[in-house]
Copies of this chain bind each other. A is one copy, B any other.
Amino acid sequence: MVSEKITIYGHQASRASRPYWLLREYGLEKGKDFIEVDTGGPVTGYNEVRDSAEFLALNPYRLIPVMTHGEVVLYESQAICQYIAALLGGPLSGQTPAETARINMYGLSSISNFEPNFLPMVFRQGGDEGRARYTANLEPLLSALNSELINRDYLIGESRGRFTVADVMMASVVGQYGRAIKFDFSPWPDVESWVQLTTRRDAFYPPRDMKVKPD
């Protein structure tokens, strides 16, 4: 399927979960089809992998995930996801230039609109007061996302749509973080069903031998 093995640096409890999820959607198996380089260990202190000259040559920003595939080196989880989808093709990827652009758009929207409000709640920033503020910020944004999902199962495609890498990217923020903090999606019923549809897929869950927490 892939002549050279994709290597992902990063562990499941990081944004590396996004490309890992997508690779599993393609039916690819760790070790057999792609390589996982565990980068567990301290994020702020010295980290054997991230502080190695080899890793910093791949990503001078020191962040995970990083992907290598032959000569291709990428950082930024969404760039990696979209590269994998373009490489492996099929219904998970954009079928037209317009679809590919809309996939990119939803990925960017997940970062610009949703991540800055969901992620601080995952880390309990600002405690209860912070949670109330981030939740208030999210209300108009979730109403917007809900309007994009009315009468649809997925973000991309004709009629009710089909599951694509756009859902992987958006649900890795709204769905994964939302579920982690038990966010109440009930005021946005179309978002709520889409969160269930996307994050209850078999491929969403890392296999038991994948590290979910860093060392």
Contact = CB atoms under 8 A, between A and B. Distances in A.
Contacts of A87: 97
Given A60-B147, A97-B83, A108 B111 contact: yes
Interface string A86-117: 11000000000110111011001101110000
Interface residues of A, number: 33
B75 A143 contact: no
Contacts of A62: 144
- How many of these chains are in the complex? 2
A21 B104 CA distance: 20
Contacts of A97: 83, 86-87
A82 interface: yes
Contact of A105 (B74, B86, B101, B113): B74
Given A72-B101, A76-B108, A79-B104, 7 more contacts: A61-B113, A61-B140, A76-B104, A76-B105, A78-B104, A86-B100, A111-B112
B148 A76 contact: no
Contacts of A75: 105, 109
A68 B197 CA distance: 30
Q: Name the residue in A76, A100, A111, A140 with the highest tally of chain B Cβ atoms < 10 Å from its Cβ.
A: A76
